[in-house]
Amino acid sequence: MKNLKTVYENGRIKHGSYDFYNLMEKILIEGNLSEKEEEVSKELEIEKTLVKDIKGLSMLLSRFKPADWNKFLDVVIK
């Protein structure tokens, strides 16, 4: 979790909160990235760090706390 926070904070500071948030969102939903977004993603190794860790944590949450996972999905879907 600390690694996630560190990588996220570095990206947010370097590229701006709004732009970095949108980039993360596109990567997580596997949307099409512009050339600039691809460069930032590779530079920060987002897919190797943040996406991998987020997917791992979501898998653990769904296995060990299914009620919390369901609440999370309800929020995300709405």
For residue 5, the model assigns a pLDDT of 81
For residue 74, the model assigns a pLDDT of 74
Dihedral angle over CA of 19, 8, 29, 64, nearest 10 = -150
Q: Which of 42, 40, 57, 53 is nearest to 3 (CA)?
A: 53
For residue 78, the model assigns a pLDDT of 56
For residue 54, the model assigns a pLDDT of 77
Residue 76 has pLDDT above 70, yes or no: no
pLDDT in tens, 2-57: 877 887 888 888 888 888 888 888 887 777 888 888 888 888 777 777 778 878 88
Half-sphere exposure of 4 toward its Cβ, with a 13 Å CA cutoff?
11
For residue 7, the model assigns a pLDDT of 78
